[in-house]
Amino acid sequence: MAPSSIRAGSATDPSGAGVPVAVALGSNLGDRAAHLAFAIARLPSLLDDVRVSSFHETDPEGVPDQPRFLNAVAVGRARLPAPETIERLLAIERERGRERPFRGAPRTLDLDLVLYGQAVIDRPGLQVPHPRFRERRFVLAPLSEIAPDLPDPVTGLTAGDLLRRLDQPGRR
């Protein structure tokens, strides 16, 4: 198991305005648009100032034969600490019938906490930034659509920079 760590002073916002966050949304089972709409309708219960990208239809990546995904990204300001935020996101998934019979299984709804301010967290059940978001066009394209200047606390690059880097010749 990976050790638990949180970069000091990065997990809360002392101003009380909330912590800027990015949440990736995805679905590849059933009425995908309805599943995403369900999550979007619930995000204001844990985030302020929610903005949502357009929906992007994408091929599955890194999983066995599965239906195509519908993806989006939401950004907002978290009122809760990161561990409570991820628990609330998982509860929304379960409300929509999310099951996890095996890693990478098709899903009605997938909600990933991609960024939580400048926090770098590595503990069981919570890794922020999401460890693979920098290589995922289905996250970076919608994130760049609504928050191109949102920074990655690990690389210092913005969402827009990361997408441009992904688009460079020789990469994907």
List Cα–Cα distances, 169 to 58, 85, 166, in angstroms. Answer: 20, 37, 8
Domain range for 40 is: 5-166
Tally Cβ neighbours within 10 Å of residue 44: 12
Catalytic choice (96, 107, 134, 136): 107
Report, as an integer, the average pLDDT of 97-110. 74
Q: Please report whether residue 172 resides in a domain.
A: no
User: Is 112 an active-site residue?
Assistant: yes
Q: Report how far residue 57's alpha carbon sits from residue 38's, in angstroms, rounded to the nearest whole number.
A: 17
Name the domain count of the chain: 1
Q: Please report whether residue 145 resides in a domain.
A: yes
Q: What mean pLDDT is reported for the chain?
A: 87
- pLDDT score, position 105: 64
Q: Please report whether residue 171 resides in a domain.
A: no
Catalytic choice (88, 96, 112, 134): 112
Catalytic choice (32, 88, 96, 98): 98
How many Cα atoms within 13 Å fall on the side-chain side of residue 129? 23
In sequence order, what DSSP letters do the residues of 126-141 get, joined into one string?
Answer: EEES-TTGGG-HHHHH
Whichever domain contains 104, its CATH number is 3.30.70.560
Catalytic choice (32, 88, 96, 110): 110
Q: Report how far residue 146's alpha carbon sits from residue 164's, in angstroms, rounded to the nearest whole number.
A: 15
User: Is 59 an active-site residue?
Assistant: no
User: Is 7 an active-site residue?
Assistant: no
Whether residue 93 contacts residue 59, with contact meaning beta carbons closer than 8 Å, is answered with: no
- pLDDT score, position 134: 96
User: Is 98 an active-site residue?
Assistant: yes
Is the confidence at residue 4, as pLDDT, over 70?
no
Q: Please report whether residue 12 resides in a domain.
A: yes
Is the pTM value of this prediction over 0.85? yes
Q: Residue 101's pLDDT band (boundaries 50, 70, 90)?
A: low
